[in-house]
């Protein structure tokens, strides 16, 4: 039987990918960002999952304004790194566990989550940056150590799905994975955030107290945390901070009791507070 | 519909109304995410702009690289950032321009922990109408 062993929360700032791709991670600006992932990479080596269920958002790359699915599940055999305006990232093609993905699609829809199914999709920094920070540098001719099932969540056009909906989706994802016959170690990633605002006159907003409380409540009060209203993210964590609803999918898929094995928080990476947490099922 | 997020200062929440207003502007911007669109815009900017039925105000904001005006007219940052990238401006430098701080001062603010939340929650704290 497939099972979920751990969850990872992780920012997906595009500039982090650029720093890795241009080999400037040792620069004083970037060094503290990457230092916090050293332990994570060790942990990933010791616990390499067969499959990562990766919750992220597409930044108008696979979906432009003409089509905005709230939840889109990647069911293709593989996903190419996308050209986001400056050429594709030099990272491996992302390979799916296609049988598990289609099983999850079917299970979720029967569980009343009305998914969009993607049989063709390029993936942007939202998906590839978390893989890069967790696995370290991998070039276009390498392979990622794990298969990846992408779930793209709309957080660009308001409203994103509620935190509560995301949390319950996480529970349904778990149910789907646990009803799959193959013996697989699956991890779930929730990505995006933490506090940041990219636009207009309030750009640059960072709220470390709010971010810290969010990380604390992932273990102490996950259900209460998932009820956070959208306006609180927008006001307290910046207009783009609402991405953090995606962390609730990850948390919803884990046990009620989890162990925090690692945490990292740093300001800034470009416009953003970088946040990261590893939670193991106990 | 009551919008509980309209009292946040210096912020546009890209909701369905803004999305409707900015649709063609955003689709123009996203066309520059691909090499084909960038080549077409370089070869003949006005001809490429004319493919998208924007308002004249939206077109002028594009020509002027007036980043805040684009947002005021329904643009969304993830889209306008593609136009900025076309002009060689990354997200951080774009924020430096939109805030009116300039690139250097903005980068310096971020290095010192970013814009604090205190005094930046409500329009009234900015002396603006709600
Ligand atoms: Fe994002």
pLDDT tens digits for A142-194? Answer: 999 999 999 999 999 999 999 999 999 999 999 999 999 999 999 999 999 99
Binary contact (B16, A157; C-beta < 8 A): yes
| Interval between CA A59 and ligand 1 midpoint (Å) | 6
Residue A69: predicted pLDDT: 98
- Give the DSSP H or E segment for A262: strand A258-269
Q: Do A200 and B109 touch (CB under 8 A)?
A: no
Distance (Å, whole) CA A160 – CA A169: 14
Rounded CA separation B28/B15 (Å): 19
Nearest residue to A189 (alpha-carbon basis) of A88, A33, A40: A40
Q: How is residue B47 written in tokens?
A: 């001809």
pLDDT for res A148: 99
| Alpha carbon distances (Å) from A191 to A102, A244, A249, A251, B104 | 22, 7, 10, 11, 29
Which pLDDT tens digit goes with each residue over B99-127?
999 999 999 999 999 999 999 999 999 99
The answer to whether A79 and A101 are in contact (CB under 8 A) is: no
Q: What is the pLDDT of residue A108?
A: 98
- Kindly provide the ipTM of the predicted complex, given to two decimals: 0.97
Q: What is the pLDDT of residues B10-40, one digit of tens each?
A: 999 999 999 999 999 999 999 999 999 999 9
- B contacts of A122 (beta carbons < 8 Å): none
**pLDDT reported for residue A36:** 98
pLDDT given at position A241: 97
Q: Which domains does chain B have, with CATH numbers?
A: 13-89 (1.10.700.10), 90-130 (no CATH)
Mind listing the pLDDT tens digit for each residue in A101-113?
A: 999 999 999 999 9
Q: Is A68 helix (H, G, I), strand (E, B) or coil?
A: coil
Q: How many Å from the N-terminal Cα to the C-terminal Cα in chain B?
A: 16
Write down the residue that tokens 């594709």 correspond to.
A88
Average pLDDT, chain A: 97
CB contact under 8 A, A159 and B15: yes
In whole angstroms, what separates CA B16 from the centre of its chain? Answer: 16
- Span A34-58, pLDDT tens digits: 999 999 999 999 999 999 999 999 9
Predicted local confidence at residue A147, as pLDDT: 98
Mean pLDDT for the stretch of residues A73-87: 93
Beta-carbon contacts of residue B56 (< 8 Å; ≥ 6 apart): none
Please report, rounded to a whole number, the percentage of residues in chain A having pLDDT higher than 90. 98
User: Which pairs count as long-range contacts for A104-112, CB under 8 Å and 24+ apart, including other chains?
Assistant: A104/A53, A104/A73, A104/A149, A104/A173, A104/A176, A104/A177, A104/A180, A105/A73, A105/A75, A107/A172, A107/A175, A107/A176, A107/A179, A108/A73, A108/A169, A108/A172, A108/A173, A108/A176, A111/A172, A111/A175, A111/A176
Q: What is the pLDDT of residue A120?
A: 98
pTM of the model: 0.97
Residue B53: CB atoms within 10 Å = 10
For residues B81 and B67, give the distance between their C-alpha atoms in angstroms, rounded to a whole number: 9
pLDDT digit string, tens, across residues B36-94: 999 999 999 999 999 999 999 999 999 999 999 999 999 999 999 999 999 999 999 99
Split at pLDDT 50, 70, 90, the class of B1 is confident
Residue-level pLDDT at A85: 80
Give the one of B11, B94, B113 whose C-beta lies nearest to A239's C-beta: B11
Instruction: Report the pLDDT value the prediction gives residue B129, as an integer from 0 to 100.
Output: 79
Whole-number pLDDT of residue B2: 87
DSSP of A160-187: PPPHHHHHHHHHHHHHHHHT--S--EEE
Q: Which residue among B8, B14, B114 places its CB closest to the CB of A235?
A: B8
* Cβ–Cβ under 8 Å, residues B25 and B54: yes
Q: Which among A59, A204, A236 has the least Cβ separation from residue B95?
A: A204
**Catalytic one among A103, A125, A248, A264?**
A125
Residue A188 φ/ψ, nearest 5 degrees: -120, 130
Q: Locate tokens 């193991």: which residue? A: A280
In this prediction, residue B95 carries a pLDDT of 98
The H or E element containing residue A3 is: strand A3-10
Distance of CA B114 to the CA centre of its chain: 19
Contacts of residue A65 in chain B, CB cutoff 8 Å?
19, 22-23, 26-27, 30, 76, 79
Q: Does A24 touch chain B (CB under 8 A)?
A: no
State yes or no: is A125 an active-site residue.
yes
What pLDDT is recorded for position A87? 84
Among A57, A66, A202, the residue to mutate for chain B (most B Cβ within 10 A): A202
Structure tokens at B78: 């993830």
Please state whether beta strands A116-118 and A3-10 pair in parallel, antiparallel, or not at all (unpaired). Answer: unpaired
What is the spatial distance between Cα A14 and Cα B90, in angstroms, rounded to a whole number? 10
Q: Which residue in the block uniquely carries the two structure tokens 């009620």? A: A256
The average pLDDT across A263-281 equals 97
Q: Is A196 among the catalytic positions?
A: yes
> Is the Cβ of A47 closer than 8 Å to some Cβ of chain B?
no
Q: What's the whole-number mean pLDDT along residues A224-234?
A: 98
**Cα angle value A205/A209/A212 (rounded, 5°):** 110
Question: What are the pLDDT digits (tens) for A200-214?
Answer: 999 999 999 999 999
Percent over 70 (pLDDT), chain A: 100
């Amino acid at each position: 039987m497939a099972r979920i062993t751990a969850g990872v929360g992780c920012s997906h700032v595009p500039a982090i990918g650029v720093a890795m791709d241009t080999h400037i991670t040792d620069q004083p600006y970037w060094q503290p960002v990457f230092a916090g992932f050293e332990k994570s990479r060790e942990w990933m080596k010791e616990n390499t999952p067969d499959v990562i269920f990766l919750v992220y958002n597409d930044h108008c790359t696979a979906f432009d304004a003409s089509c905005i699915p709230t939840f889109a599940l990647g069911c293709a055999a593989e996903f190419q790194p996308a050209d986001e305006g400056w050429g594709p990232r030099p990272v491996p093609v992302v390979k799916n566990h296609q049988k598990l993905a289609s099983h999850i699609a079917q299970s979720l829809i029967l569980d009343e989550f009305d998914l969009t199914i993607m049989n063709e999709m390029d993936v942007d920094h939202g998906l590839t940056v978390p893989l890069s920070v967790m696995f370290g540098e991998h070039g276009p001719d390498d392979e990622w150590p794990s298969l990846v099932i992408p779930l793209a969540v709309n957080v660009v056009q308001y409203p994103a799905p509620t935190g509560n909906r995301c949390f319950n989706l996480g529970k349904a994802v778990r149910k789907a994975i646990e009803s799959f016959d193959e013996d697989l170690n699956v991890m779930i990633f929730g990505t995006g955030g933490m506090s940041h605002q990219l636009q207009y006159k309030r750009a640059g907003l960072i709220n470390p107290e709010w971010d810290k409380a969010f990380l604390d409540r992932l273990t102490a009060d996950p259900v209460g945390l998932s009820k956070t209203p959208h306006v609180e993210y927008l006001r307290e964590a910046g207009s783009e901070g609402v991405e953090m609803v995606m962390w609730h999918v990850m948390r919803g898929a884990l046990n009620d009791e989890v162990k925090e094995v690692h945490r990292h928080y740093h300001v800034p990476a470009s416009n953003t507070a970088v946040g990261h947490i590893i939670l193991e099922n106990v | 519909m009551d919008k509980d997020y309209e009292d946040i200062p210096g912020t546009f929440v890209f909701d369905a109304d803004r999305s409707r207003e900015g649709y063609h502007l955003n689709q123009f911007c996203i066309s520059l995410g691909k090499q084909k669109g960038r080549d077409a815009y370089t070869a003949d900017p006005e001809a490429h702009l004319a493919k998208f039925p924007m308002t004249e105000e939206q077109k002028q904001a594009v020509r002027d690289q007036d980043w805040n005006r684009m947002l005021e007219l329904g643009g969304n940052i993830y889209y306008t950032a593609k136009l900025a990238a076309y002009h060689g401006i990354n997200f951080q430098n774009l924020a430096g321009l939109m805030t009116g701080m300039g690139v250097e001062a903005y980068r310096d603010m971020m290095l010192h922990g970013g814009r604090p939340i205190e005094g930046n929650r409500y329009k009234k704290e900015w002396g603006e109408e709600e």
